[in-house]
Structures are given as structure tokens and as C-alpha cells.
Amino acid sequence: MFAISGFSQEPTFVFEDTVNDQAQVKFISYNSYSSNRFSNEFMDKFIFGGDISTELKTQMANRLKGANVFGGEMEQRIDSYSPDIHLFKKEDYGMKLSFSDNHYFSANITEDLFNTALFGNSNYIGDTMDFTFSSVQYQHYQKFSLGFYHKSNLSSIQLSYISGSKTLKGALNESWMYSRPELDTIDVFLSGDAFFTDRMFPYWAFQGSGFSIDIDYNFIFEGKTKNKQIINFRINNLGMIFWNKNSLSYTGMAQRSYSGFNIQDLLDDDTTDFDIDWLDTMGVNQNMGRQVDVLPFELVVQKLADRQSTNSLQAIFGFKAIMVPNYFPYLYVGGYYQPIKDFSVSTRLSYGGFAGLRWGINVNYWLKDNFYFGLGSFDVIGLASKKIGRGRGFNFSMYYRL
């Protein structure tokens, strides 16, 4: 019997055994967002609505530096393991089926863009506001996965069909705004690109198709103390999405000076054409057509805890990278404690991702080796505090052996 119990995005995996003779269904829920600058008090109001006081805006503005990142990952997943279905007619391999609903989002905002958006340009009269390298990205998609796993070392490979629901992606290259001292004209230079699906609703909108490959390999060896050691190597989301022909894209590089739009011209303009006319005035090109987008490719290397180890206390550590803008290499180190066979607790300190230093706790419980339940957070401080915390995370996992 076996299971790897944990969370697929930022996992605290537990390697259980090298024998699998039962079918298994596993449910996983991973939900996390964080920032290296913005507090929960600010992010809660920005995401869910509410009055953002001048004092709170000022507090956030004083924290800003070169990179001001906000991002998150959410995955709801179900895995099915069937040891009696032998792919390639090899008895050492079973079939693994999976379905997941995935969200990924990230943003980087410059100090000048933040201040301009929340305070206006009054503090920049006769000065230049730099928006260079500001960016935003959001993807929502589902994965339908088929593959096989090895019954001994639990390594697996899956090929997935990707159903794209919606996306938004934009980035500014060299971009700035200058407010003239006379207060009558603003000079703007913009360069960048963006694209998004034409509909951001309904939730299960089908607006694209794609594919991905997921590889999960466990390297098992014997350490100096004769205890089993497991190093896990994973590649996730190696693939892309082809968005449909209704996707909108924008590109532009222009320098303009503006003294304002004439209100009467705006009222008299045909509303159908105004958006296009306004974009043309800004020097922005609009196109409609298919777009190709890469998935948030992940690389993970980590040492797993072994449930069968004779040591009640084990070290855990790992590394994770997502090959997308605004994500910094994620490192963690911690300990796994199993006082009895059916219960364990782990804790970790981590740094990177979308945030700085974080502390997490996870608990695991097994019931007669047929039922597993795991619960935890990789940002306990964020869950407990609005003012100190800079993100939140909640993870749930369970399986049942049939």
C-alpha cells in the first residue's frame, strides 16, 4: 500500500511505502496568495472591496522598492490510482487519472505607478513617473490527465489536455509619464503589449485548448544510517494553451503629449468606435485573433519524509521555481515529526515565491491505512494577522483506498 500525501504546488510530501495493491482516490486543495510588500489589510480591501484609507495607502507606499510583487496559486485536484490497469502490459505500472481546476496570477507594480494610481499625479508635478517593467498575468484552466505510475518507487508521467477558461497578460517595457510644471500638459511614453480572452465569464468558459506533460520521479537510496532517503524531482505544466480567435491583443510604442480630451467630442462620438479611436490616438494597435501562451512551468526538487522510517524526527527541504515573471526561487527547510504511526506534524521556514520569509505547519492523520487526512498552511503568520501578514495559504488533502 502507498500514498504520497501533500499538496501539488508547494508540497510537504510523505512517502509511505513501496507496495501498492489497492486502488486509491485522492483529493487535494491548495490555495495561496502572497506579496513581498503589501499587507493583508491592504490586499483584502483591494481584492474583496472596501475603503482604503489614506493612512493605509501611505503605509504601503513607504514599503515599496524596486520589485513590488503580488501573486497566488489555487488548485483543486482529484487523482485516481488503478494498480490493476497495466499500461503497456507491464505489471509494475498502474494507471493514473487526474482532473484539476487551476488559477495562477501575478503582478509587479512600480512605486511610481502605485502612487499615481492611488494618489494621483499631484506629487509628480515637474517630475517623471516611471512605469517600466510593470506587469500582470492571470490564467484559469482545467487539466484532464492520463498517465502511468510505477508501483515501487511511485514515479509517474502524465499527459494532459488543457481546457483554457480565461486569461489576461500584459507588460510594460520602457514607459513613463511627465507632468509639466504649467499643469496644462502631460507627456506620455508607452511601450508594451497585452492580450486577453474576450470573455472573463462564466467560470467554466471554454476559450482555448492545449496540452502539458507532468513528470514526477522519486529517487530512493539508503543513507549512512541505513534509513531510506527519498529525493523527489518534478516537472509540472510543461506545455501551452492555444486561445481562440476571439482573443484580443494590444501592442504599442508611442510618445504623445495630452492636454485632455474634449468632453463634447466624447459625448458626440459613436460609442462603438470610440474605444478604437482612443487607442489609435494613444498609438496602440488592436488585433483580434488566436494567441499562444505557455503554462506556468514548474521545477521542484525536494527531500521527502518517510513514514516507515525508524527515526521519529526527519529533516525536510526543497526548492521550487516557476518559469514566469514575478516569481522568485522558492526555498524551504524544516522538520517532520512522527511520534506514532498514524499521526505526524511538519513545520517549515520558506523564502521566495511571491513573498519573503514565511512559516508553515502541516498535520497528517491516517486511519487504519485506508483513510488519510492532511491540513495545513505554509503561511501561518498571514492567516493570523492582517497587519503583519503578507498573504494567506490554506491546504487540504485526503485519500481513500478502495
262 pLDDT more than 70: no
pLDDT, greater one: 266 or 337: 337
283 pLDDT more than 80: no
Q: Say how far apart CA 282 and CA 252 lie, in whole Å.
A: 8
pLDDT on residue 267: 45
Please name the residues in contact with 146: beta carbons below 8 A apart, sequence gap of 6 or more.
Answer: 95, 96, 97, 158, 159, 160
Please name the residues in contact with 261: beta carbons below 8 A apart, sequence gap of 6 or more.
Answer: 278
Q: Say how far apart CA 106 and CA 120 lie, in whole Å.
A: 24
Compute the average pLDDT of residues 214-240: 89
DSSP letter for each residue of 14-34: EE--S---S-EEEEEEEEEEE
- Residue 116 φ then ψ, to 5°: -65, -40
pLDDT on residue 12: 58
Q: Residue 134's beta-bridge partner residues? A: none
Q: Using the 8-state DSSP alphabet, how is residue 62 labeled?
A: H
Closest CA to 172 of 147, 197, 193, 195: 193
pLDDT class for 47, splitting at 50, 70, 90?
Answer: confident
276 pLDDT more than 60: no
Tell me: the pLDDT tens digits for 356-379? 999 999 999 999 888 999 999 999
Q: Which amino acid is located at 258 in the chain?
A: Y
Compute the average pLDDT of residues 367-393: 92
**What cell was used for 19?**
507496495
pLDDT on residue 151: 87
Closest CA to 104 of 332, 308, 377, 297: 297
Tell me: the pLDDT tens digits for 51-94? 899 999 999 999 999 899 999 999 999 999 999 998 778 888 99
pLDDT on residue 279: 61
Compute the average pLDDT of residues 197-215: 95
Roughly what angle, to the nearest 10 degrees, separates helices 54-63 and 40-48? 120
Compute the average pLDDT of residues 103-127: 92
Tell me: the pLDDT tens digits for 286-301? 899 999 999 999 999 9
Q: Say how far apart CA 346 and CA 92 lie, in whole Å.
A: 31
Please name the residues in contact with 292: beta carbons below 8 A apart, sequence gap of 6 or more.
Answer: 240, 241, 242, 243
Q: Using the 8-state DSSP alphabet, how is residue 205 labeled?
A: -
Q: Say how far apart CA 254 and CA 243 lie, in whole Å.
A: 28
The set of long-range contacts for 341-345, using a CB threshold of 8 Å and a minimum separation of 24, is: 341/307, 341/366, 342/366, 342/367, 344/14, 344/305, 344/307
**What cell was used for 153?**
518507487
Tell me: the pLDDT tens digits for 176-189? 999 888 877 888 88
pTM: 0.89
pLDDT on residue 268: 52
